[in-house]
Amino acid sequence: MTGRLAVVLAGCAALAGCAALRGFEGQEPAPWVQAGVPQPASDTESLLLYLQHLRKLPGAELGREHETARQAYTRARTDFNRVRFAMVLSLPNSAFTDDGRALELLETVAKNPGARLQGLAQVLSSNLQEQKKLNASVQGLQQKLDALKSLERNMIERNR
């Protein structure tokens, strides 16, 4: 799973190099950009740094970040805010994880051929879809295992 994330991040980093450069002069650095580090050259790079930042946050701060991203998306439904909010919603093992909603947000950007963040949205969407398939497979395997255990218990009880 960690290897998959590394592949996704590497692919996204490659996409960041292709994205149109955008200056951040005169703007306050985003909270996920470390002081003394050059500002991201593109929205894609900024969002990748944001994802790294999210993965390090403890629960309470993650909850506040969820609310911040939700409010930003509610105020301005830009592609940047859509992808940002989708990233927060797709974090595993959080109280607000909603892969379905995250996929909806990403699909809007991923299907727009003119979107600067189309490549990133496609990669994230693909990763979420693959994760859903894996989760469904695991659930199916767990159900089969539970059925086998039940069958085994029944056979043992009959032999008594």
pLDDT exceeds cutoff 50 at 105: yes
Q: What percent of the chain has pLDDT over 70?
A: 82
Residue predicted with more confidence, 125 or 41: 125
> Measured between alpha carbons, how far is 54 from 66 in angstroms, rounded to an integer?
10
Half-sphere exposure of 124 (CA within 13 A, CB side): 35
Q: Could you give the C-alpha distances from 136 to 93, 139, 141, in angstroms and in order?
A: 16, 5, 9
Distance (Å, whole) CA 72 – CA 81: 6
**Would the pLDDT of 111 be above 60?**
yes
Give the separation between CA 68 and CA 82, rounded to whole angstroms: 12
Confidence class of residue 32 from pLDDT cuts 50, 70 and 90? Answer: confident
Per the structure block, which two tokens stand in for 97? 């994880």
Reported as a pLDDT band with limits 50, 70 and 90, residue 30 is confident
CB 49 within 8 A of CB 87: no
Q: How far apart are CA 148 and CA 42, in angstroms?
A: 52
How many whole angstroms separate alpha carbon 77 and alpha carbon 96?
Answer: 20
Give the mean pLDDT of 127-156.
93
Single pTM value for the model: 0.74
Confidence of residue 84 (pLDDT cuts 50, 70, 90): very high
Distance, CA of 12 to CA of 29 (rounded, Å): 21
CA-based Rg of the chain, rounded to a whole angstrom? Answer: 20
Angle 17-76-92 from CA coordinates, rounded to 5°: 65
